[in-house]
Structure 1
Amino acid sequence: MELGKSKFSWKDLQYCDKAGTQNSPLRVVAHIDQDAFYAQVESVRLGLDHSVPLAVQQWQGLIAVNYAARAANISRHETVTEAKKKCPELCTAHVKTWKAGESEAKYHENPNPNYYKTCLDPYRHESVKILNIIKKHAPVVKKASIDECFIELTSDVKRIVLEEYPYLKIPSEDSNVALPQAPVLLWPAEFGMVIEEEVVDRTKEDYERDWDDVFLFYAAKIVKEIRDDIYLQLKYTCSAGVSFNPMLSKLVSSRNKPNKQTILTKNAIQDYLVSLKITDIRMLGGKFGEEIINLLGTDSIKDVWNMSMDFLIDKLGQTNGPLVWNLCHGIDNTEITTQVQIKSMLSAKNFSQQKVKSEEDAINWFQVFASDLRSRFLELEGMRRPKTICLTVVSRFLRKSRSSQIPMNVDISTQFIVEATSKLLRQLQQEFDVYPISNLSISFQNIIEVDRNSRGIEGFLKKSNDEIYMSTSVSPSIEGRAKLLNENMRENNSFELSSEKDIKSPKRLKRGKGKGIFDMLQQTAVSKPTENSADETYTCEECEQKITLSERNEHEDYHIALSISRKERYNNLVPPSHDKPKQVKPKTYGRKTGSKHYAPLSDETNNKRAFLDAFLGNGGNLTPNWKKQTPKAISNSSDNMTQLHLDLANSTVTCSECSMEYNSTSEEDILLHSRFHSRVLGGVTVSFQCSPIYRVNYGLSSDCIYSINSESSLIDQRKAEEALSFVNNELSSEPIETIGVDKYTTFLFISDKKCVGLLLAERISSAYIVDELELNNNNSTSSAVYIKNENLRKGFVLGISRIWVSASRRKQGIASLLLDNALKKFIYGYVISPAEVAFSQPSESGKQFIISWHRSRNNGSSKSLRYAVYES
Structure 2
Amino acid sequence: MLRKIIHVDMDAFYASVEQLDFPELIGKPIAVGGDGARGVVAAASYEARKFGVRSAISGVQAKKNCPGLIFVKPRFERYKEISTQIRRIFYDYTDLVEPLALDEAFLDVSNNKIGCPSATLIAYEIRQRIYQELGLTASAGISINKFLAKIASDYNKPNGQKTIEPQEVEEFLEELEIKKFFGIGKKTADRMYHHGIFTGKDLKSKSIEFLIENFGKAGAEYYNLVRGIQDSPVRPNRTIKSLGTERTFDENLSSEIFLLEKLDGLVQELSLRLKKSNVSGKTVTLKIKYRDFVQQTRSKTLPYFMSDSELILDVVKGLLFQEELKDSVRLIGVTISSLNTEIKKLPFVIQLEFDF
TM-score bracket, normalised by the shorter chain, equals 0.5 to 0.7
Offset of 1:838 from its aligned partner?
Answer: 5.9
Identify the match of residue 257 of structure 2 among 787, 792, 817: 787
Alpha carbons of structure 1 residues 126 and 250: separation in structure 2 relative to 1, 3 Å: same
SS of the equivalent of 1:55 reads strand
Question: How do residues 292-307 of structure 1 correspond to structure 2 at under 5 angstroms?
Answer: 294=194, 296-307=195-206
The residue aligned with 2:271 is none
The residue aligned with 1:29 is 5
State the AA in 1 paired with 2:181. Answer: I
State the alpha-carbon separation in 1 of the partners of residues 163 and 19 from structure 2: 29
Alpha carbons of structure 1 residues 870 and 71: separation in structure 2 relative to 1, 3 Å: closer
The residue aligned with 2:167 is 267
The residue aligned with 1:42 is 18
The residue aligned with 1:67 is 46
The residue aligned with 1:328 is 226
Q: Is the 8 A contact 1:768 1:787 kept in 2?
A: no
Identify the match of residue 86 of structure 2 among 127, 130, 134: 130
State the AA in 2 paired with 1:337. Answer: R
With normalisation by structure 1, the TM-score equals 0.30
State the AA in 2 paired with 1:67. Answer: Y
State the alpha-carbon separation in 2 of the partners of residues 837 and 30 from structure 1: 39
Alpha carbons of structure 1 residues 332 and 225: separation in structure 2 relative to 1, 3 Å: same
Offset of 1:329 from its aligned partner?
Answer: 1.5
State the alpha-carbon separation in 1 of the partners of residues 190 and 295 from structure 2: 18
* Structure 2, gaps ≥5 residues long: 264-283, 301-317, 336-356
RMSD: 4.0
Question: How do residues 260-659 of structure 1 correspond to structure 2 at under 5 angstroms?
Answer: 260-291=160-191, 294=194, 296-313=195-212, 316=215, 319-340=217-238
Offset of 1:304 from its aligned partner?
Answer: 2.1
Write the deviation string for residues 216-256 of structure 1: whole angstroms up to 9, x where unpaired. Answer: xx111111111111112211111111111111111111111
State the alpha-carbon separation in 2 of the partners of residues 85 and 791 from structure 1: 21
Q: Is the 8 A contact 1:29 1:243 kept in 2?
A: yes
The residue aligned with 1:184 is none
SS of the equivalent of 1:154 reads coil
Offset of 1:37 from its aligned partner?
Answer: 0.6
With normalisation by structure 2, the TM-score equals 0.67
State the AA in 1 paired with 2:226. Answer: C
Q: Is the 8 A contact 2:246 2:334 kept in 1?
A: no
Alpha carbons of structure 1 residues 28 and 132: separation in structure 2 relative to 1, 3 Å: same
State the alpha-carbon separation in 2 of the partners of residues 871 and 259 from structure 1: 35
State the AA in 1 paired with 2:199. Answer: S
Write the deviation string for residues 639-677 of structure 1: whole angstroms up to 9, x where unpaired. Answer: xxxxxxxxxxxxxxxxxxxxxxxxxxxxxxxxxxxxxxx
State the alpha-carbon separation in 2 of the partners of residues 84 and 327 from structure 1: 39
State the AA in 2 paired with 1:142. Answer: E
Write the deviation string for residues 66-115 of structure 1: whole angstroms up to 9, x where unpaired. Answer: 12343466555364797499574x5442234xxxxxxxxxxxxxxxxxxx
Q: Is the 8 A contact 2:286 2:332 kept in 1?
A: no
How many pairs are equivalent?
Answer: 291
Alpha carbons of structure 1 residues 50 and 221: separation in structure 2 relative to 1, 3 Å: farther
Q: Is the 8 A contact 2:31 2:45 kept in 1?
A: yes
Matched, 1:93 2:72: yes
Write the deviation string for residues 796-828 of structure 1: whole angstroms up to 9, x where unpaired. Answer: xxxx9489xxxxxxxxxxxxxxx9xxx8xxxxx
State the AA in 1 paired with 2:225. Answer: L
Q: Is the 8 A contact 2:29 2:70 kept in 1?
A: yes
State the alpha-carbon separation in 2 of the partners of residues 81 and 288 from structure 1: 25
State the alpha-carbon separation in 1 of the partners of residues 62 and 219 from structure 2: 45
Alpha carbons of structure 1 residues 788 and 63: separation in structure 2 relative to 1, 3 Å: same
Alpha carbons of structure 1 residues 150 and 870: separation in structure 2 relative to 1, 3 Å: closer
Identify the match of residue 109 of structure 2 among 143, 146, 153: 153
Identify the match of residue 244 of structure 1 among 144, 155, 162: 144
Write the deviation string for residues 547-582 of structure 1: whole angstroms up to 9, x where unpaired. Answer: xxxxxxxxxxxxxxxxxxxxxxxxxxxxxxxxxxxx
State the AA in 1 paired with 2:86. Answer: I
The residue aligned with 2:303 is none
Alpha carbons of structure 1 residues 322 and 44: separation in structure 2 relative to 1, 3 Å: same
SS of the equivalent of 1:336 reads coil
Offset of 1:320 from its aligned partner?
Answer: 3.4
Write the deviation string for residues 708-744 of structure 1: whole angstroms up to 9, x where unpaired. Answer: xxxxxxxxxxxxxxxxxxxxxxxxxxxxx25xx8x8x
Alpha carbons of structure 1 residues 72 and 158: separation in structure 2 relative to 1, 3 Å: same
Q: Is the 8 A contact 2:139 2:157 kept in 1?
A: yes
SS of the equivalent of 1:834 reads coil
State the alpha-carbon separation in 2 of the partners of residues 869 and 248 from structure 1: 32
State the alpha-carbon separation in 2 of the partners of residues 79 and 312 from structure 1: 39
Q: Which has the higher contact order (CA 8 A, sep 6+)?
A: 2
State the AA in 2 paired with 1:55. Answer: A
State the AA in 1 paired with 2:292. Answer: P
The residue aligned with 2:270 is none
Q: Is the 8 A contact 2:34 2:71 kept in 1?
A: no
SS of the equivalent of 2:201 reads helix
* Structure 1, gaps ≥5 residues long: 1-23, 97-119, 162-217, 343-736, 744-761, 772-785, 794-799, 804-818, 824-831, 855-864
Write the deviation string for residues 381-405 of structure 1: whole angstroms up to 9, x where unpaired. Answer: xxxxxxxxxxxxxxxxxxxxxxxxx
Offset of 1:35 from its aligned partner?
Answer: 0.6
State the AA in 1 paired with 2:205. Answer: N
Alpha carbons of structure 1 residues 308 and 232: separation in structure 2 relative to 1, 3 Å: same
**Identity of aligned pairs, percent?**
24
State the alpha-carbon separation in 1 of the partners of residues 160 and 66 from structure 2: 28
State the AA in 2 paired with 1:787. Answer: I
The residue aligned with 1:54 is 30
State the alpha-carbon separation in 2 of the partners of residues 305 and 81 from structure 1: 39
The residue aligned with 2:154 is 254
SS of the equivalent of 1:284 reads coil
SS of the equivalent of 1:43 reads helix
The residue aligned with 1:117 is none
Write the deviation string for residues 816-864 of structure 1: whole angstroms up to 9, x where unpaired. Answer: xxx9xxx8xxxxxxxx8436756446889x956x76xx4xxxxxxxxxx
SS of the equivalent of 1:242 reads strand
SS of the equivalent of 2:175 reads coil
State the AA in 2 paired with 1:28. Answer: K
SS of the equivalent of 1:138 reads coil
The residue aligned with 1:585 is none
